[in-house]
């Protein structure tokens, strides 16, 4: 793994570090052709080289979230768009159990845009 990418995870304090590392594993386990890459000084996940989601920490709440690159195509009440035109985020509370089924469902929906050709690869 790229040192800057690995350091992103390792420099975080608990419980955020464990949460991010677990989210990384969940995302990478969603299918073939998913890679974890370092882009824009943050961990991005790509499907066949095309960015589809990323992990970040909210500057105000200090809680992690998953950002969906094509989030504007996803419809779920837990997703927030804010002032973003294209992306939506799913906030994660690092102190609680992860909503695994919700995360996996949203990741699969996002990946389907690429697999079904809605987003060109």
119 has a pLDDT exceeding 70 = yes
* Residue 110 contacts residue 70 (beta carbons within 8 Å): yes
Tens of pLDDT, residue by residue over 1-51, are 568 898 999 999 999 999 999 999 999 999 999 999 999 989 999 999 999
Confidence at residue 1, expressed as pLDDT on a 0 to 100 scale: 54
Tens of pLDDT, residue by residue over 59-81, are 999 999 999 999 999 999 999 99
Distances (CA, A) of 47 to 33, 89, 121: 5, 18, 8
Q: Which domains does the chain have, with CATH numbers?
A: 3-115 (3.90.1150.200)
CA distance 57 to 95: 14
Q: What is the pTM of this model?
A: 0.93
Give the burial string for 81-99 (b: 16+ CB within 10 Å, else e).
eeeeeebbbbebebeeeee
What token pair was written down for 5? 């990418």
Confidence at residue 2, expressed as pLDDT on a 0 to 100 scale: 63
């Amino acid at each position: 793994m790229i040192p800057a990418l690995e350091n992103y995870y390792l420099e975080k304090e608990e419980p955020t570090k464990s949460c991010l590392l677990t989210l990384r594993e969940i995302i990478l386990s969603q299918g073939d052709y998913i890679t974890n890459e370092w882009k824009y000084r943050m961990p991005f996940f790509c499907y066949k080289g095309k960015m589809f989601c990323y992990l970040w920490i909210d500057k105000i709440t200090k809680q992690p979230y998953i950002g969906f690159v094509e989030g504007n195509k996803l419809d779920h009440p837990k997703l927030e768009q804010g002032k973003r035109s294209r992306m939506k985020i799913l906030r994660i509370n690092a102190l609680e159990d992860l909503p695994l089924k919700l995360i996996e469902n949203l990741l699969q929906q996002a990946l389907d845009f690429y697999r079904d050709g809605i987003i060109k690869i």
